[in-house]
Amino acid sequence: MIEFKNVSKSFKNTDVLKNINLTINDGEFLVLIGPSGCGKTTSLKMINKLITPTSGTILINGEDIGKKNTIELRRNIGYVIQQTGLFPHMTIGQNIELVPFLNKWSAEDSRKKSKELLDLVGLDPDKYIDRFPDELSGGQQQRVGVARALAVNPDIILMDEPFSALDPITRNTLQEEVFKLQQELKKTIVFVTHDMDEAIKLGDKICIMKDGDIVQYDSPENILRNPEKGFVEKFIGSDRLWNKPEFIKAEDIMIKNPITSSSNRTVLQAIRIMQSNKVDSLLIVDNYNKLSGIVTSKDVREHMDSPNLKIGSFMPKDLVYVYNDDSISTVLKSINEHNVGFIPVVDKFGLLKGLVTKSSLITLFEEKLF
């Protein structure tokens, strides 16, 4: 666990960080993001003591890193930067094996580890281990940089805008590789970026910073769904949620006040309610607003000869519904599988929360996507 406790940093009378408090759990992928000068890189570099706080304390597993030997600290922290930081006069293998060498590993163990790591990051060891950095593309060099950061199996990996200088295709590929590595190795990763799409794609948590302060710290989904008003809302973009359909829930797209009725209403009353509200169906609820049935205009027309008949006596009770936290894909799948034009939305207790219709979906998609 990494903890920032009341951490501040000033350079020449300029406050770069202002009393930061932050906790990063073991195995968590945290993304620090914000505009230039917000303090994100300064925060990252404090974790391995490349920058020291003006005030406050940084703890790793409860130990104040200010009191810890710097070399010992850094040997348990991998570090990947934008320019890769590979030594041009060393081969790829020698670059990866540098830290194991400093830790007095045997040459045999170091070479075995470098081959394993090259394979892990998608580079053929037999092909690349004896090459020099300038013989590799930018994306390949960054893969080597990631491999080197993993060389002594550190608990923590710091990544300072590692992919920002790469072309979009290579960048996307490496983002996927890092995500897969994190899923497999479960390292604690602190990743700096200025790209919100990258942050959403990679982070378990996102820390948005501005002018040395933390403005919002939460999961990607919660930030997209509930951005802090003002800076965060503007920074991430008001429609960014719609670019991540897996985060869109039924409650985001439902009609929140559908027309409801009691099962004790008569056929005649049901017709009047539908006509006055210009709908062709009624959601039937009990006194606690629990969904109990649905009656359509077709259902009531079939009982027009019994105007005083209670609709509860013939309403279909084999209900098709979705939950308010179901994804939009689940909603669409349910609508298509059951060939219905609408579907009620309930909470985990069965209480009615809203209604999704095909027509409302089409209107919503036109507004958001076109």
Say if strands 55-60 and 63-64 run parallel, antiparallel, or are unpaired. antiparallel
Query: Domain ends where: 216, 247, 278?
Result: 247
Q: What is the average pLDDT value for the chain, to the nearest integer?
A: 85
Contact 293, 310 (CB under 8 A): no
Per-residue pLDDT reduced to its tens digit, 206-243: 999 999 999 999 988 888 877 887 788 788 765 665 56
Per-residue pLDDT reduced to its tens digit, 44-76: 999 999 999 999 999 999 899 999 999 888 888
Query: Domain ends where: 247, 275, 310?
Result: 247
For residues 64 and 127, state if they share a domain.
yes
Residue the block writes with tokens 């409650």? 251
- pLDDT at position 58 is 94
Confidence of residue 366 (pLDDT cuts 50, 70, 90): low
Alpha-carbon span 42 to 334, nearest angstrom: 48
User: DSSP string spanning 39-92?
Assistant: SHHHHHHHHTTSS--SEEEEEETTEEGGGS-HHHHHTTEEEEETT----TTS-H
For residues 344 and 207, state if they share a domain.
no
- CATH number, domain with residue 88: 3.40.50.300
Query: Domain ends where: 247, 270, 289?
Result: 247
For residues 274 and 149, state if they share a domain.
no
Has residue 164 got a pLDDT over 70?
A: yes
For residues 9 and 154, state if they share a domain.
yes
For residues 111 and 237, state if they share a domain.
yes
Per-residue pLDDT reduced to its tens digit, 13-52: 888 999 999 999 999 999 999 888 888 999 999 999 999 9
For residues 255 and 205, state if they share a domain.
no
Alpha helices by DSSP H, listed for the chain, are 40-47, 70-74, 92-102, 107-120, 125-128, 138-149, 168-185, 196-202, 220-225, 231-236, 250-253, 267-277, 297-301, 328-338, 358-369
Range of the domain at 84: 2-247
- pLDDT at position 223 is 85
Non-local CB neighbours of 229 within 8 Å, separated by 6+ positions? none
Number of domains in the chain: 2
Residue 63 burial class via C-beta count within 10 angstroms: exposed 0-12, middle 13-18, buried 19 and up: exposed
- pLDDT at position 33 is 92
pTM above 0.75, yes or no: no
For residues 14 and 146, state if they share a domain.
yes
- pLDDT at position 192 is 93
What backbone torsions phi and psi does residue 303 show, to the nearest 5 degrees?
A: -125, 25
Per-residue pLDDT reduced to its tens digit, 113-124: 888 888 888 888
For residues 127 and 159, state if they share a domain.
yes
For residues 309 and 176, state if they share a domain.
no
Per-residue pLDDT reduced to its tens digit, 279-304: 888 999 988 899 998 988 888 888 88
For residues 91 and 220, state if they share a domain.
yes
Per-residue pLDDT reduced to its tens digit, 302-353: 888 888 999 989 888 788 899 988 888 888 888 888 888 888 999 989 999 9
Has residue 278 got a pLDDT over 90?
A: no
What backbone torsions phi and psi does residue 189 show, to the nearest 5 degrees?
A: -120, 130
φ/ψ bin of 350: left (φ > 0), alpha (ψ from -120 to 50), beta (otherwise): left
For residues 61 and 92, state if they share a domain.
yes
Alpha-carbon span 350 to 3, nearest angstrom: 41
For residues 226 and 326, state if they share a domain.
no
Closest by CA position to 76, among listed 186, 147, 154, 159:
154
